[in-house]
Amino acid sequence: MRDALLSCAKAAAEAVRDLDDPGAKVGLGYSGAPTSRLDRVAEDAILAKVDELGLAVNVLTEERGLIDRGHEDLMVCDPVDGTVNALRGIGFWGVSLAVGLLSKVKVLYKLNKYFHADRAPMGLTFKKFLESFEGYQDRTKRITYEGEGARGKVYNTLFIAGMHFMDGYNFSVERVMRCVIHYPDLDGHLYPFCAYNGAPVYRKRVESKYKHSAEELKAKIEAEGNPKELEKLAKKMGL
């Protein structure tokens, strides 16, 4: 498979070599963003090579979206990763290709089916939508932006997940390893939801490690000069 992907990448690079007017807009991509001639020609070359080699894969591309060819494995394709650099003659661009077994790419494969570019906010592409998920572990990536840089319209996301709660009777390590909801402690350790609240109940260990007595908490808040916080806490405790 590695050799096949290299052949696809080389076909794309050769197709765009000395391309006339590469920045011309030739349509809209799957995300609703404009497609340049550079992107389209590179993508066409990759798809042609996939057919030529007889690769048994479906293809997910940035320009056309999901191309269902009746297979289980999926090839994810960004024909020109770094289009702006390529159009400006800067050598830092490439062809990004990856093939995964359905078990590895199943989430991406299904998620793409539920992303509707025509209903998405202006500027929110499927790629940016995926990037927003990184924010669940990295605070600096919790917002995707329209346009370049940190300015522009922002898109906040609401994460909704459903699961079968586990306790000491049905606890499964395999399911815990696939958990997407975590509790962090003050040292940055992450605990899967069911491991934190069910067996082996990490909550007790974490709370015991970081808990403060009422007197310690009061002294801490007063030392920080935050009397309003103390008032809120007293109200919550019914004092």
30 vs 84, residue with greater confidence = 84
Class of domain 2-115: alpha beta
Percent of the chain with pLDDT over 90: 12
Domain boundaries, the chain: 2-115, 173-236
pLDDT band of 116, cuts 50, 70, 90: confident
Mean pLDDT of the region 149-167: 65
Per-position DSSP letters for the chain, written without gaps between them? -HHHHHHHHHHHHHHTTT-SSTT-EEEE-TTSSEEEHHHHHHHHHHHHHHHHHT---EEEETTTEEE--S-SSEEEEEEEETHHHHHTT-S--EEEEEEE-HHHHHHHHHHHHT--TTTSPTT--HHHHHHHGGGGT-GGGS-EESSSTT-S-EE------------TTT--HHHHHT---EEE-TT--EEEHHHHHSTT-HHHHHHHHH---HHHHHHHHHHTT-HHHHHHHHHHTT-
- pLDDT for 173-215, tens place per residue? 877 877 777 888 888 788 888 888 876 778 888 888 888 777 7
Check whether 156 has a pLDDT greater than 80: no
pLDDT band of 43, cuts 50, 70, 90: very high
Q: Taking the model in full, what pTM does it have?
A: 0.47
Q: What is the pLDDT of residue 7?
A: 92
pLDDT band of 103, cuts 50, 70, 90: very low
Q: What is the pLDDT of residue 94?
A: 85
Check whether 101 has a pLDDT greater than 90: no
